[in-house]
Amino acid sequence: MTAIRAVLMRDLRLAWRSPQESLTVIGFFVLAALLFPFGVGPEPQLLARIASGVIWTMALLAALLSFERLFQFDHEDGTLDLILLAPAPLETTVLAKCLAHWLTTGVPLIAASPVAAIMLNLPTDGIPVLLAALLLGTPSLSLIGGIGAALTLGARRGGVLLPILVMPLYVPVIVFGVAAVEASLAGLTARPHLLLLAAILAGTIPVAAIAGAAALRQSAE
């Protein structure tokens, strides 16, 4: 826990000193949601029907903007070598960095999602379920993205390779996240879909820790 806290606080301080990355993610998310009605038309019923899918897709694409740098800076300045030599398990460091990524990108995206929902004419009854689904689903996005960032660390054109690796793994999260909102708007319970998102998160945590740590060790060799 001490190692997790140290890495987490370090990454949060760095993000606080250079907030451009988080602002870029939020700006992309809001602007993409704002521009989307210009492509499909301003019909309120159409926008309401596709709003949840658009918000989830924009959140995914916005999160992808920052994954490449998750370990890149530490790799370039030698910090990663010190982390690998530290007595703390590397798996805990991977989880701490993924948590820091979620706090600096996932949480702002969740906070901005009601604005996007209003712009896309999502019924107000669906906004609480949307927030709950994002709260359960966006940590999985950060964890899966952490695996991809570790696998592509040091690779040529890693920024192009990373989305190809992780986007297929995002499909279950997107499907159940959108289904939860759609079920709520249809008068059905969203609980099964939210429980599935929670199950995906519970399964992704150990997988991301083990796979991310193994990829980082491989990249250091």
CB distance 138 to 67 below 8 Å: no
The model's pTM is 0.89
Query: What is the pLDDT, as a whole number, of residue 159?
Result: 66
Q: Which residue, 60, 69, 56, 130, is CA-closest to 101?
A: 69
Q: Which two tokens stand for residue 190?
A: 């969203």
Residue type, 24: T
Q: What pLDDT does residue 201 have?
A: 95
Instruction: Give the pLDDT confidence score for residue 1 in this predicted structure.
Output: 62
pLDDT at 64: 86
At residue 137 the predicted structure's pLDDT band, cuts being 50, 70 and 90, is: very high
Q: What are the pLDDT digits (tens) for 79-135?
A: 777 777 777 788 888 888 889 889 988 899 999 999 999 888 888 888 999 999 999
- Mean predicted lDDT score pLDDT of the chain: 85
Assign residue 88 a region (left: φ > 0; alpha: ψ between -120 and 50; beta: otherwise). beta
- Per-residue confidence (pLDDT) for residue 79, from 0 to 100: 73
Report in angstroms the alpha-carbon separations of 1 from 6, 96, 98, 116, 180.
9, 10, 15, 36, 33
Where do the H-state alpha helices sit in 68-190? 72-77, 79-85, 90-101, 107-119, 127-151, 158-166, 171-185
Q: Give residue-wise pLDDT tens across range 29-81.
A: 888 888 888 877 778 788 888 889 999 999 988 888 888 777 777 777 777 77
In the chain, pLDDT over 90 holds for what percent of residues?
31
pLDDT score, position 7: 76
The count of domains in the chain is 1
Q: Is the pLDDT of residue 221 over 70?
A: no
Q: Which of 6-20, 127-141, 194-208 has the lowest mean pLDDT?
A: 6-20
123: containing domain: 2-220
pLDDT of residue 191: 93
Give the separation between CA 7 and CA 97, rounded to whole angstroms.
7
What single DSSP character describes residue 167? G
Cα dihedral value 129, 133, 135, 136, nearest 10: 140
86 and 6 Cβ atoms separated by less than 8 Å: no
Kindly tell me if the per-residue pLDDT of 202 is higher than 70.
yes
Taken in order 98, 101, 107, 110, the sign of the CA dihedral is negative
- Among residues of the chain, what percentage have pLDDT more than 70? 95
